[in-house]
């Protein structure tokens, strides 16, 4: 028995020794072809077995392999997978090349984590640096127009003005509806601090949204995380989606390199109204008389005056010349049209953009230093903007375990003479379309000041009173009532990565974003836009300081179990600190000394207003992703936030997503026409936090204090609510991504449905409680929609390639409930009666106003021959588009590349103040077409008894009654449009040429942006116009004209 046991033990040792004799070790280093740098984290496996390892921080590996014809498999995200026969070698080095198709499938997801596209269970679209480098928009948001499904962009023609972005519809009634911007992990503020009047089209300056500080030259990649599932790791900031931006670094180039990107574009007005040029200013076709000579009615701000037939009349400038003693007797000038007076007022804008970037790397470190200067001369006289951007990034591998990285960005902007917007005297374009007249002479208006410093212009009170009545000289507005502003901003981060184990990494990040925004506005003494008729002048200073800091710790575990199973999981902590301060100071009752714009020059004690808040949010979060055979993936995330602006308890936001790559099934792998196929789905709950100090009543200072040398404080009228909760959005998403014919045809379809509840809204309460209103949680809003992305390569012959990318998105929104019997909440009121409402059972941002009274579907006409209006306001349509889409065509041949983007928005309504006043005042072409001023007009409609209207009324009576001033429906228009959004034609010199010049690359481009409106249903204006980036949309309150730009760009590297 003992001998048998001993024999078995000896046989076992012999077997182990034999097995060990059949194994040997192989070592090697894996490097990148492009840079020559070692690549850590490359998976090295023995093909057909479970044996494998990963390269260390120096790109080195050691692996025990069996004897025989062993094949090693090298794989890494973004690089082409390689198989190598080992043979008798003990050292097997590998140089890996970029896999273009694989690179395109890498997605930067929440918290900056890179994921293979096949593994994510939600829709996300990415744009690389080519989308931003050539056609470099001043506001980066505008660059997304027509390129991403589910994203709607609205811009305007204001220099440095607002661009509004909406992802999958609105989720909040009164809260923020724009996505969170995250740059290199840094949450960036995108506030728009325009005034309430400016937001509703009532007037004011558009200072733009803060995301325009993002520099297009520094962007390496932008990913749009559209749904709640994609953005859930951002918790209470995720309800509107997230724009994740990764900036460029020096890691791709070994050694030192320099890149220069220089361009110039010219801006001109894209669309002007069509004006009539037959009749001049006045309220009737008769002249007055002054000193025995025919004289127009200067004070009448309409164009229903005498025919422009060339007769000699006393023009306004003739009067000024006589009054100032320039002429000895009162002269006259011909009464003629100046058809291009509005067009010639605008100048050709010029934008110079120059970027220089220095980058470098060695075996352990890399850096990039970039400087961009943008100088804009606007299309409005006396308007300019200057922006300087300095960015720096660096990282270094201190040892095999510790990596340190930092990024810093400084943006300094200065602007002068931003145009006024909306229905306001500072908006000269609104003056042209309401008060302007066709006999205007720009050359005469350019001399806007008399020798005594008083204003001279067309809109005199009378022939004997030279003061302006309604409208200032447009050049006086641009040169005397100008504003200026500046903003200094810094944002950056510092990160430490420590590799505890090959599969376990700890990361700490410190991130900050802060800026100071200073604005100064002036109104000159003698201007009409002052409340006081004497035009006493005014001066305002408004300074805002905003800061956000984030401190984050993440522990990440990434492990493969054999060939089939993978696990990526992490847990983290975040602490967010926000602060905001505002100090506004303005003169009272005018200026003591004209032209001196200081607060001490106020006629009375200046009014000072202070405001501010501090806010803290603490968070914990985690994620787990399990993959099986690179075919089936299951992800779960969770985040809990403790916000100081809400009661002390935490609010939790979970998500679950899955992805199944069915093209990896053995039965489908051999199908020659199927390149890739995936179905995905997910569920998530995210939040929308509230502003500070809404849960506890706090005192506010009164503007009418102090009293007896003591400041006065009181409770606000709106009581705060200690039980307030964040708004919550629950979303379900299903999608499919399939590609055919070696990826030459692709289709991505997504359906989503979301329900946003616990809306934070103001309601009225009994005055006996000490207030008149309170913030509460109530109401719900639904969105559901469809997104389709189509990609195709219709033609590929040798060096010639034609690629097409198209997207379609449709969102349906409904305000399901508010609270109790409350049926509507007002978002804003336009200057002339139209309101924008959130109404139960209707889409968000429904426009309400008076409509035509109808009988059997036909407009009802009264006995005076004019249309009649409803006594109550009714729904006139929603500002939300029915669907949006875009098509991008890219044609390339060797070094030549043509890129054309066409996009459109279809459906949705808009109320147009420009159209209303243009017809009311008689300045638009339809008010004089077909000799209607002599023949009159018969309104199409029926009388009360149902008979057809036959009464003829004057053109002025028709147009002044049939417009939005009396019947708001008359100026409601379909806001659909199609635009030629972007064109670029570039040529890259062959490397055989650039190498002789000592350069690494040269690309020359001709570029154009916003080149043409291909289709529009609204006359005279650009339907894409937006007043600002807030929630009050669908109201055009006196639009500044949109602009087209065209120019060229030169990029070279060495």
pLDDT at 8 over 70: no
pLDDT digits (tens, 9 = 90+) for 35-91: 667 888 788 988 877 788 888 878 899 998 888 778 898 888 667 778 888 888 889
pLDDT at 13 over 50: no
Task: Check if the beta carbon of residue 653 is closer than 8 Å to that of residue 633.
Answer: no
pLDDT at 17 over 50: no
Strands, DSSP E only, in 229-272? Answer: 242-247, 255-269
pLDDT at 768 over 70: no
- How far is 466 from 503, CA to CA, in rounded Å? 82
For residue 1, what pLDDT is reported?
Answer: 46
Highest mean pLDDT among 39-43, 44-48, 572-576, 609-613: 572-576
Query: The tokens 């404080």 sit on which residue?
Result: 713
The CA distances from residue 240 to 167, 237, 788, 844, 974, in Å, are 6, 8, 19, 15, 26
Q: List 929's β-bridge partners, or say none.
A: none
Tokens read off for 287: 């002249």
**Average pLDDT, rounded, for the chain:** 89
Where are the alpha helices (H) located in 502-655, listed in sequence order?
none
pLDDT at 887 over 50: yes
For residue 706, what pLDDT is reported?
Answer: 62
For residue 515, what pLDDT is reported?
Answer: 96
Lowest mean pLDDT across 109-123, 901-915, 974-988: 109-123
Q: For residue 417, give the nearest of 468, 477, 366, 367 by alpha carbon.
A: 477
Q: For residue 990, give the nearest of 890, 893, 891 by alpha carbon.
A: 893
- How far is 1040 from 54, CA to CA, in rounded Å? 59
pLDDT digits (tens, 9 = 90+) for 652-676: 999 999 999 999 898 998 898 999 9
User: At 867, is the pLDDT very low, low, confident or very high (cuts 50, 70, 90)?
Assistant: very high
pLDDT digits (tens, 9 = 90+) for 963-1019: 888 899 999 999 999 999 999 999 999 988 888 888 888 999 999 999 999 999 999
Tokens read off for 327: 């002429």
Q: What share of the chain is helix, strand, coil (3-state, %, to 5)?
A: 15, 50, 40
Lowest mean pLDDT across 259-263, 344-348, 528-532: 528-532
Can 20-102 and 140-269+351-425+471-845+880-908+975-1053 be said to share one CATH topology?
A: no
Task: Check if the beta carbon of residue 71 is closer than 8 Å to that of residue 78.
Answer: no
pTM: 0.86
pLDDT digits (tens, 9 = 90+) for 378-387: 999 999 999 9
User: At 703, is the pLDDT very low, low, confident or very high (cuts 50, 70, 90)?
Assistant: low
pLDDT at 915 over 90: yes
Q: List 553's β-bridge partners, or say none.
A: 508, 573
Tokens read off for 355: 């970027």
- How far is 445 from 342, CA to CA, in rounded Å? 12
CATH architecture for residues 140-269+351-425+471-845+880-908+975-1053: Beta Barrel (2.40)
Instruction: Count CB-CB contacts under 10 A for residue 946.
Output: 10
**Helices and strands (H, E) in the chain, number of each type:** 14, 60
What is the distance in angstroms between the CA of the first residue and the CA of the last residue of the chain? 82
For residue 786, what pLDDT is reported?
Answer: 97
CA 141 to chain centre: 3
For residue 533, what pLDDT is reported?
Answer: 47
Query: The tokens 């962007």 sit on which residue?
Result: 219
- The answer to whether the bond into 291 is cis (omega within 30° of 0) is no
Residue 637 DSSP SS3: strand
Tokens read off for 791: 């990609």
Average pLDDT over residues 206-222: 90
Task: Check if the beta carbon of residue 428 is closer than 8 Å to that of residue 474.
Answer: yes
Tokens read off for 647: 């009661």
Q: Which fold has domain 20-102?
A: Immunoglobulin-like (2.60.40)
Q: List 824's β-bridge partners, or say none.
A: 839
Residue 124: DSSP 8-state = E
What is the DSSP pairing of strand 180-183 with strand 242-247?
parallel
**Which DSSP string do the residues of 492-543 spell out, in sequence order?**
EEEEEEEEEETTEEEEEEEEEEEEEEEEEEEE-TT-TTSSSTT---EEEEEE
**Which DSSP string do the residues of 61-118 spell out, in sequence order?**
EEEEEESSS-EEEEEETTEEEEEEE-TT-SB--EEE-B-HHHHHTEEE-GGG-EEEGG
Query: The tokens 């591998």 sit on which residue?
Result: 397
Interior/surface letters 879-911, b for 16+ CB within 10 angstroms, e for the rest: bbbebbbbbbbbbbeebebebbbbbbbbebbbb
For residue 471, what pLDDT is reported?
Answer: 87
Share of the chain above pLDDT 70, in %: 94
Helix (H) or strand (E) holding 675: strand 674-688
pLDDT at 508 over 50: yes
Q: List 680's β-bridge partners, or say none.
A: 659, 735
For residue 865, what pLDDT is reported?
Answer: 95
For residue 20, what pLDDT is reported?
Answer: 39
Cβ within 8 Å of residue 1045, ≥6 positions away = 265, 266, 267, 349, 351, 1007, 1008, 1009, 1010
For residue 253, what pLDDT is reported?
Answer: 57
Average pLDDT over residues 614-621: 94
- How far is 832 from 1035, CA to CA, in rounded Å? 10
pLDDT at 1031 over 70: yes
Dihedral (Cα; 775, 780, 781, 782), 10-degree rounding:
160
User: At 697, is the pLDDT very low, low, confident or very high (cuts 50, 70, 90)?
Assistant: confident
Asked whether the CA dihedral 900, 906, 909, 912 is positive or negative, the reply is positive
User: At 647, is the pLDDT very low, low, confident or very high (cuts 50, 70, 90)?
Assistant: confident
pLDDT at 709 over 70: no
Cβ within 8 Å of residue 377, ≥6 positions away = 347, 349, 350, 351, 383, 384
Structural domain spans, the chain = 20-102, 140-269+351-425+471-845+880-908+975-1053
pLDDT at 583 over 80: yes
Phi, psi of 969 (to 5 degrees): -60, -25
């Amino acid at each position: 028995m003992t001998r048998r046991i001993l024999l078995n033990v000896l046989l076992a040792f012999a077997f182990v020794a034999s097995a060990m004799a059949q194994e040997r070790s192989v070592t090697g280093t894996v490097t990148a072809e492009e840079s020559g740098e070692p690549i850590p984290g490359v998976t090295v496996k023995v093909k057909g077995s479970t044996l494998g390892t990963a390269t260390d921080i120096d790109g080195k590996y050691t692996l025990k392999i069996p004897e025989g014809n062993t094949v090693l498999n090298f794989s890494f995200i973004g690089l082409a997978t390689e198989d190598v026969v080992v043979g008798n070698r003990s050292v097997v080095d590998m140089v890996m090349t970029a896999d273009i198709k694989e690179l395109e499938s890498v997605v930067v997801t929440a918290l900056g984590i890179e994921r293979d596209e096949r593994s994510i269970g939600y829709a996300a679209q990415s744009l690389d640096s080519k989308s931003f480098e050539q056609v470099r928009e001043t506001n980066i948001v505008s660059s997304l127009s027509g390129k991403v499904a589910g994203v709607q962009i609205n811009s305007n023609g204001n220099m440095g003005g607002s661009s509004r972005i909406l992802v999958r519809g609105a989720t909040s009634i009164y809260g923020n509806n724009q996505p969170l911007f995250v740059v290199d992990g840094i949450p960036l503020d995108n506030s728009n601090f325009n005034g309430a009047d400016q937001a509703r089209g009532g007037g004011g300056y558009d200072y733009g949204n803060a995301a325009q500080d993002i520099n297009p030259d520094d962007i390496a990649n932008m990913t749009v995380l559209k749904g709640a599932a994609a953005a859930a790791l951002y918790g209470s900031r995720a309800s509107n989606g997230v724009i994740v931006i990764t900036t460029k670094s020096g890691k791709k180039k070994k050694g030192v390199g320099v890149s220069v990107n220089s361009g110039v574009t010219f801006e001109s007005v894209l669309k002007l109204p069509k004006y009539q040029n037959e009749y001049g200013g006045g309220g009737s076709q008769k002249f007055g008389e002054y000193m025995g000579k025919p004289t127009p009615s200067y004070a009448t701000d309409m164009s229903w005056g005498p025919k422009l037939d060339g007769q000699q009349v006393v023009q306004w400038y003739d009067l000024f010349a006589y009054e100032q003693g320039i002429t000895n007797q009162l002269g006259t000038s011909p009464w003629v049209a100046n058809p291009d007076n509005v067009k010639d007022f605008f100048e050709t804008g010029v934008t110079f953009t120059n970027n220089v970037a220095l980058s470098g790397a060695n075996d352990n470190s890399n850096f990039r230093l970039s400087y961009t200067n943008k100088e804009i001369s606007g299309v409005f006289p006396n308007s300019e903007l200057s922006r300087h951007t300095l960015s720096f990034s660096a990282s270094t591998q201190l040892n095999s375990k510790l990596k340190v990285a930092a990024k810093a960005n400084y943006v300094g902007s200065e602007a002068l003479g931003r145009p006024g917007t909306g229905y306001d005297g500072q908006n000269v374009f609104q003056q042209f379309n309401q008060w302007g007249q066709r006999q205007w002479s720009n050359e005469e208006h350019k001399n806007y000041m008399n020798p005594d410093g008083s204003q001279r212009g067309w809109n005199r009170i009378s022939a004997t009173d030279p003061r302006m009545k309604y409208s200032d000289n447009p050049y006086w507005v641009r040169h005397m009532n100008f504003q200026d502003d500046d903003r200094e901003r810094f944002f950056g981060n510092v990160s430490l990565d420590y590799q505890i184990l090959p599969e376990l990494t700890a990361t700490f990040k410190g991130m900050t974003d802060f800026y100071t925004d200073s604005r100064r506005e002036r109104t000159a003494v003698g201007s009409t836009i002052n409340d006081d008729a004497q035009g006493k002048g005014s001066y305002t200073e408004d300074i805002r300081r905003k800061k956000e800091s984030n401190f984050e710790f993440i522990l990440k575990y990434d492990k493969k179990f054999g060939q089939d199973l993978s696990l990526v999981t992490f847990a983290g902590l975040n602490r967010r600190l926000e602060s905001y301060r505002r100090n506004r100071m303005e003169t009272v009752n005018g200026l003591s000394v004209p032209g001196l714009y200081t607060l001490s020059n106020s006629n009375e004690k200046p009014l000072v207003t202070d405001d501010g808040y501090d806010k803290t949010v603490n968070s914990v979060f985690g994620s787990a992703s399990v993959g099986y055979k690179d075919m089936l993936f299951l992800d779960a995330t969770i985040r809990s936030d403790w916000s100081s602006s809400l009661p002390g308890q935490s609010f939790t936001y979970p998500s679950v997503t899955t992805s199944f790559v069915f093209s990896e099934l053995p039965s489908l792998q051999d199908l020659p026409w199927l390149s890739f196929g995936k179905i995905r789905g997910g569920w998530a709950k995210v939040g929308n936090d509230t502003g500070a100090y809404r849960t506890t009543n706090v005192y506010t200072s009164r503007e009418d204090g102090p009293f007896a040398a003591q400041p006065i404080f009181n409770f606000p009228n709106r009581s705060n609510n200690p039980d307030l909760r964040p708004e919550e959005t629950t979303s379900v998403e299903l999608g499919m991504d399939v590609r055919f014919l070696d990826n030459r045809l692709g289709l991505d379809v997504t359906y989503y449905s979301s329900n946003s509840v616990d809306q934070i809204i103001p309601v009225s309460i009994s005055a006996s409680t000490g207030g008149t209103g309170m913030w509460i949680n109530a109401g719900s809003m639904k969105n559901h929609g469809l997104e389709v992305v189509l990609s195709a390569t219709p033609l590929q012959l040798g060096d010639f390639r034609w690629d097409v990318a198209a997207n379609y998105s449709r969102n349906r929104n409904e305000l399901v409930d508010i609270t109790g019997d409350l049926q509507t909440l007002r978002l804003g009121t336009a200057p002339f009666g139209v309101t924008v409402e959130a109404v139960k059972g209707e889409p968000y941002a429904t426009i309400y106003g008076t409509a035509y009274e109808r009988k059997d579907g036909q407009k009802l006409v009264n006995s005076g021959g004019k249309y009649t209006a409803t006594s109550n306001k009714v729904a006139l349509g929603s500002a939300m588009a029915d669907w949006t889409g875009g098509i991008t065509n890219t044609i390339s041949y060797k070094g030549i590349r043509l890129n054309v983007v066409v996009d459109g928005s279809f459906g949705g309504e808009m109320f147009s103040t420009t159209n209303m006043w243009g017809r009311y005042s008689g300045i638009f072409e339809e008010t004089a077409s077909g000799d209607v001023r002599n023949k009159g007009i018969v309104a199409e409609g029926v009388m009360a008894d149902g008979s057809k209207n036959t009464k003829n009324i004057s053109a002025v009576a028709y147009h002044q009654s049939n417009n939005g001033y009396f019947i708001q429906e008359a100026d409601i228009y379909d806001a659909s449009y199609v635009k030629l959004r972007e064109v670029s034609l570039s040529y890259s010199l062959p490397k055989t040429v650039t190498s002789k010049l000592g350069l690494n690359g040269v690309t020359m481009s001709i570029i154009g942006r916003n080149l043409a409106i291909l289709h529009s249903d609204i006359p005279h204006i650009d339907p894409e116009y937006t007043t600002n980036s807030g929630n009050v949309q669908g109201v055009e309150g006196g639009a500044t004209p949109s602009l087209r730009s065209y120019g060229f760009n030169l990029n070279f590297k060495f």
